[in-house]
Amino acid sequence: MILKKIAAVEEAAPVAVIVREYCETRDKAAVVELERRCEIGQPGKPSLVTDLKGDPIARVRNFVSHTMLVAEYGQGREIVGVIRGCIKTVTNGKLISSTQLPVHVNLAYILGLRVSSTHRRLGIATKLVEELENWCKKNGAEYAYMATECSNHPSLNLFTKKCNYVKFRNPMVLVQPVHRHAKPLPSDIAIVRVPTSQAEHLYRRAFSFSEFFPKDINQLLTNKLNLGTFMALPKKFLSEWNPNSENFDFPHSFAILSVWNAKEVYRLRVKGVSRLTHAVCFGTRVVDAMIPWLKIPSVPNVFRDFGFHFMHGLHMEGDDGPRMMTTLCKFVYNMARKDGDSRVVVAEVGQADPVRRSIPHWKKFSWDEDVWCIKKLGDEGNAASREDWCKSTTASPSSVIFVDPRDL
């Protein structure tokens, strides 16, 4: 009888979950398989399916301070969960009153949370988040945030109800499919490539008082995945403009953006659509191939893995700025078209950002509302940054949110 009771207690005892740091040589194959089984995304929307070349840590490798944790479960110590995190220094949209310089905070970004479908509701996701938060605090992070779609209720419930995050910002994801035909550019607008040093100077001027602008913008612009920074300006001004001058003047109307080669990090696929939708999309490509002179905007084959170009640092000035921005977006579209493997062009901007209306996109492929949730981790940092950023949830000090492509 005593032995039976002991056996019953052992059967009822919870199985320990061990969270530890990822080891590439030991864990890579298991994590790649876990990621494959945990494809995410809403039906009819692009969903993350695999990291390029099976590199699980690729999404945070571009940050100096980053980590990846795995959760082991059971006697066999099977890897059943994974989470990634990185820390960067960003602006919070506020100014230091004495100097009028931007306030910077150390911000952790939590991403890539996956738990095996056969091991959910066991508290594994919560433990992964808690352990990652501990790592973030030990490494100086004052806040942590995450991003997901507004329809991803399980993720939102985990972070807001169990982990005490608050809904913070709601940027828009704008997607433009790339078809067979190039977009014509206006003859009175010139597109120039901006040297990195001048791009950094301009971005610091334009975005320092926005939210989430990274202090290491120079590292972002010189990253091998950054395909360049480009400016649209009046062609008549081109002869007077010297981008290599230390004291160059900008034209009254211009637009600027940078392009990130996101396909070198991971792939996308549209999943969960009906056979009719497949047939209609295929039909647009057939018709376009048969009568190309009509230049039908056919839907590319997004039902197989594909890459994309991501536009970041979108900024415009002047009365003709909106037309300049639209022209720049068309220029990036033509870049993606020549690439061949990039079948969409993507941008993410704040809902009140003036550039939003100038970015070409298809509503069917876009997200009207992404959700960023944030949590205060501690009071580390300087006095100017100790005012609780989380409490500015009703209105942003700036309508502009800088979306770092390294966070994708």
Q: Do domains 14-170+371-391 and 174-368 have the same CATH topology?
A: yes
| CA atoms of 187 and 212, how far apart (whole Å) | 35
Note the pLDDT tens digit of each residue in 86-105. 999 999 988 887 777 899 99
Closest by Cα among 50, 352, 359 to 174: 359
| CA atoms of 385 and 94, how far apart (whole Å) | 9
- At 248, which amino acid appears? F
The full set of domain ranges for the chain reads: 14-170+371-391, 174-368
Asked whether residue 239 carries a pLDDT value surpassing 80, the answer given is: no
Q: How many H-runs (helices) and E-runs (strands) does the chain carry?
A: 8, 16
pTM: 0.88
Note the pLDDT tens digit of each residue in 264-315. 877 777 777 778 877 878 778 777 778 877 777 877 877 788 889 999 999 9
What is the pLDDT confidence band of residue 384, given thresholds at 50, 70 and 90?
low
Tell me the mean pLDDT in the region 168-181.
92
Q: Which CATH architecture has domain 174-368?
A: 3-Layer(aba) Sandwich (3.40)
| CA atoms of 173 and 405, how far apart (whole Å) | 12
**Strands in 238-369 per DSSP E:** 254-261, 266-270, 307-317, 342-349
Q: Is 3.40.630.30 the CATH classification of the domain at 14-170+371-391?
A: yes
Tell me the mean pLDDT in the region 252-260.
95
Asked whether residue 12 carries a pLDDT value surpassing 50, the answer given is: no
Q: How far is CA 377 from the centre of its chain?
A: 22
Q: Is 317 exposed, middle or buried (0-12, 13-18, 19+ CB in 10 A)?
A: middle
Note the pLDDT tens digit of each residue in 307-318. 899 999 999 999
As beta bridge partners, residue 354 has: none
In degrees, to the nearest 5, what angle opens at C-alpha 223 toward C-alphas 304 and 218?
Answer: 140
